[in-house]
A and B are shown apart, each in its own frame.
Chain A
Amino acid sequence: MTAELGLAALWLAAALALLQLMAGALALTARGSALGGIVRPVAVVQGLLALIAFVALICLFAVTDLSVKLVALNSHSMKPLVFKIAGAWGNHEGSMLLWVTVMGLAGGIVALVERRLPERTMLATLAGQAFVSLGFYAFLLIASNPFERLDPAPLEGNGLNPLLQDLGLAFHPPTLYLGYVGLSIAFSFAIGALVTREVGPAFARAMRPWVLGAWIFLTLGITAGSYWAYYELGWGGWWFWDPVENASLMPWLAATALLHSAGVLAARNALRAWTVMLGVVAFSMSMVGTFLVRSGILTSVHAFAVDPERGSFILALLAINIGGALTLFGLRASTVTEGERFAVVSREGALVINNVLLCAILGIVLFGTLYPLVAEAMGAKVSVGPPYFNPMGALFFVPMLLVLAVGPLLRWRRDSVERFGKRLLIPALVTGFAAVAALVVGGIALLPFLGLVLGLGLAVASVLPLRDRNLRRTPLPIWGMVLAHFGVAVALLGMASESAWSVERLVALRAGESTSVGPWRVRLADVEPVAGPNWTALEGKLEVRYGGGAEQVLRPQARSFWTPPQQTSESALLTRWNGQLYAVLGEQASGDRWQVRLWWKPFVTLIWLGGILIALGGVLAVIGHVASDLRRIVARGKIAYRRERQGR
């Protein structure tokens, strides 16, 4: 019953999306303007129906209704409840349903609250949103119906990939999707603005909280995903340049650029066409990411099922949406009048350089991700990894860091090198000292060296915009900017430190034997069998000491799951303020010895702390922008009210 309810809600939502598209488009013409009134309510109801469908699917997973094919294929009655629920989006169909739900809800919220834009632009925006949604509804209903029944129902489900049976999964995909799909709003706003030729500061202000919101979730999603890969995969790395990771990085890069150019457009009415273009590009990157991850052309823990039909479907959606938007842009770009001018040495100038460099990095990542696919189509098997991405990315990332340090200190419109040069003295000195110190210590490779040195300089430079300011009256978005930029420096320091000073030890130990890694003494006390709800495991008991400190215990496991039968290794982590000890238990070697792999990673946690700070900066900026918008609306309302009373 629940499954049928969900399916019905999904069909209805799709029908409403069609109605929203038709009504919105017709209302733009002279004859159909009467239809304009229904577009907003339809968008809201469409979002709610998608939500009902998604909740229905969660219910089916929570009670393990095995007569539903998706549940039978991906769940198991013995799984803990939280993983049953998380399993609802731990598969292809469920994750696509989550996608349309987020998309519908985002459209609904925009329809409900956004009142600053001209009504015609709003209609075009909502019609655009409906158009994109409709494609994904069709994809769900035709090629990946999550509510399909199975007759007869099996007695037990297939279970969920054990790698995904982790609390990170309950958090990572929804977060990332909120980011991915939140960018669809920026895309639709860009379409709306192009169609109605209303590209201006109002458009940028309306779009900005959405871009910021999506960007916050993307940042958190990437951060969480990186940490998940770090401790769950047991390889001790935090970023692999895996295509699925790149798929989340590319929209983030585009959204970061969009965020900054929307700031210029909102404040200075410049970079108009460029901002619209980035609005289109950002969501296009989300869709490219979805195509890469969901079409089955890549194999990874994210590619749930290989089905060529689905791949072609997503590719078609991609071509229609991106191609259509770019065509519209090509047709209308010439009508977007040029914005305000500015000197090269100015805040705008720095932001333009930042944007261009971000786009260059985006291009590098996109190129490196797609190249193996293209090469394979031409018959060569190639894989592209860190030897390509690290130096190529750094080539553009390093100048971008310099601009990042300088840009916020510049004035809008026009500035002089003499004026801001003095302010850069302190960070320049810090950078110089750090460089000398790092050279004296020695033995650091080029990239970590640059990371350490620039990270320290940037950490100092990022707080300089607060100098000469009354801290109490500093607007929240400025605090947000400072915090986010500081977060970049923190993350960078973590990456550089991890890369420069990690120590690894791989040994086979008998129970009772000891080894050392970095400042740690590690003794393998024992290896014992343990059991969980749907797995058994061998658990190593490692007694560890930092320097001469107190003894602590780490318990890495080698787990064997029953359904599906699969083995995973559960790493054990010990976090100190200055780094993490990472332990993995391997196989039994000859002579009652156990393989133990240990890493000491100084300051590695800064990587994710930096990610969180960046996201927090975004949160402050959103709160600041929304609060000032609200104040403006309230003030306008008061004035109108007063006028009305005086009029009487």
Chain B
Amino acid sequence: MAAIKAKHQRLVLLVVALVVVLSAGILAAWALKSQASYFYVPSDIVAVPPVATRTVRLGGMVEKGSLKTAPDGVTIHFVVGDGKARVAVEFAGIVPSLFVEGSGVVAEGRMRPDGVFNADNLLAKHDENYVPREMQQMTKDQAKKVVAETQ
């Protein structure tokens, strides 16, 4: 390795560093394009469902009267709507304390081939100071319509 001329050492170091950091950047860009979990509202997810292996977020209003607990006591089923479309959601776990019918929710999980959204995680509004970003957006754009439809 001593073949590298000592004179050019700094240049070589610079090039190596640049190549590694650039390749990291390119890899990152590629990975982000293919793996970023996208945010869907029910009408989008019904129109173009994502592949079943892909983690996405689904945000909308929990329809009134749709929340049902399975006999095992820990799995719940409910319907998320945005006024245009409705999606059935299944979730096993402890629900966030402010998760109630008629209010907004963001579910993180996968769309099953049978059309049921399988949520691993529910993000509900914790309090005035903590609202999932997607939901803030959503309430601005759609809340009024959604609430009118679902009530």
Contacts and interface: CB of A to CB of B under 8 A. Distances in A.
A566 B74 contact: no
Interface string A449-464: 0000000000000000
A364 interface: yes
Interface in A372-401: 372, 375, 380-385, 387-388, 391-392, 395-396
B1 A343 contact: yes
B16 A356 contact: yes
Given A566-B126, A593-B73, A356 B20 contact: yes
Given A363-B25, A507-B73, A589-B69, A338 B10 contact: yes
Nearest to B121: A235
B73 A299 contact: no
A368 B32 contact: yes
Contacts of A163: 126
A568 B97 CA distance: 8
Nearest to B30: A392
A108 B107 CA distance: 50
A387 B35 contact: yes
Contact of A382 (B21, B37, B73): B37
Interface in A329-374: 338, 341-345, 352, 355-357, 359-361, 363-364, 367-368, 371-372
B21 A360 contact: yes
Contacts of B48: none
Contacts, number: 134
A171 to B, nearest CB: 22
A248 interface: no
A388 B9 contact: no
Nearest to A271: B13
Q: For chain B, give the interface size range.
A: 35 or more
B4 to A, nearest CB: 7
Contact of B37 (A344, A387, A567, A589): A387
Interface stretch (B79-87, B88-96, B111-119, B143-151): B88-96
A172 interface: no
Interface in B31-47: 31-32, 35-39
A506 interface: yes
9 contacts: A357-B20, A359-B20, A363-B24, A371-B32, A372-B36, A387-B35, A387-B55, A506-B93, A569-B94
Given A383-B36, A507-B74, A595-B94, 19 more contacts: A161-B129, A299-B130, A300-B130, A341-B9, A356-B16, A360-B23, A361-B24, A367-B25, A368-B32, A381-B137, A382-B36, A382-B38, A387-B55, A388-B35, A392-B31, A506-B94, A566-B127, A569-B94, A586-B94
- 8 interchain residue pairs of minimum CB distance: A508-B73, A589-B73, A586-B94, A567-B97, A360-B24, A381-B39, A344-B1, A367-B28
Interface of A: 161, 163, 234-235, 274, 298-301, 304-305, 338, 341-345, 352, 355-357, 359-361, 363-364, 367-368, 371-372, 375, 380-385, 387-388, 391-392, 395-396, 506-508, 564, 566-569, 584, 586-587, 589-591, 593, 595, 597
Interface of B: 1-2, 4, 6, 9-10, 13, 16-17, 20-21, 23-25, 27-29, 31-32, 35-39, 55, 57, 69, 72-74, 92-95, 97-98, 121, 126-134, 136-137
